[in-house]
Amino acid sequence: LSALERQIFDFLGFQWAPILGNFLHIIVVILGLFGTIQYRPRYIVVVSFIFILYLAISATKLLNGG
C-alpha cells in the first residue's frame, strides 16, 4: 500500500495540496448543506466560519501570485 501511495504522490508532485484542499472544501460544502437542511444554527456557524477561512486562504494565495 505504501508503494502505491508513494507513486501517487510522486506523480502528483506539488499538486496534492490543492487537490486535498478542494476535496476538503467539497466535504465542507456538503456538510454545510446538510446543516442548512436540518437547520442547526451552531452547525451552520461553524461551517460558515470554515468556508470563510478557506476563502481567505485562497484569496491570499491569489494575491501572492500562487
pLDDT band at 33 (very low <50, low <70, confident <90, very high): confident
Tell me the pTM: 0.46
Residue-wise DSSP of 12-59:
HGGGHHHHHHHHHHHHHHHHHHHHHHHT-HHHHHHHHHHHHHHHHHHH
**Chain mean position to CA 4:** 23
Stretch 32-44: mean pLDDT: 76
Report residue 53 as a C-alpha cell.
477561512
